[in-house]
Amino acid sequence: MATYGQKCGNCGEPLTPRGGLPSRFCPRCGCRLPTSPVSAPGNVPATARRVSAPAIASLVLGILGLPMGCIPFGLAAIFLGMYAHGRIESSRGRLTGKGLATAGIVLGIISSGLWLAICAGAL
């Protein structure tokens, strides 16, 4: 059986998480416990990295918007791409897909431009 693997450095009391969360103070002597190194920022294992969902959605909308010359798809792709950029920037390396988001923004601008060109041609 896998134990939580932490003991109080002061009294040696084995520590078990309560209510799903690891306790921050020893239940026996009440001393403060060192926080887990896993929660330290910038210490993200490669397996925990994933592609940002809004970045994928932005690219898909950008591609879909192109043949249609459809401005709602294009605008959605631009906003989703920008949103994804912000999320990726603040994720401290947990989210990837910046290239996808950029491609989504570019495709969104092109499809919106296409729509405007069609509109201008129709007038």
For residue 95, which phi and psi values (nearest 5 degrees)?
A: -115, 140
In the region spanning residues 15 to 74, those forming contacts with Zn ion, defined by CB under 5 A, are 26, 28-29
- CA distances (Å), origin 8, targets 37, 45, 105: 16, 27, 51
User: Which of 60, 7, 47 lies closest to 29, judged by CA?
Assistant: 7
Q: Which is nearer to Zn ion, 31 or 118 (CB)?
A: 31
Asked if 100 is part of the footprint of Zn ion (rule: CB under 5 A), the reply reads: no
Shortest Å distance, C-beta 29 to Zn ion: 3
Both structure tokens of 82: 């920008």
| Single-letter amino acid code for the residue at 91 | S
User: Is residue 119 at the binding interface for Zn ion, with CB under 5 A as the rule?
Assistant: no
Joined tokens for residue 50? 């994933």
Q: Does 8 bind Zn ion (CB under 5 A)?
A: yes
Shortest Å, Cβ 8 to Zn ion: 3
Would you tell me which residues interact with Zn ion (CB under 5 A)?
8, 10-11, 13, 26, 28-29
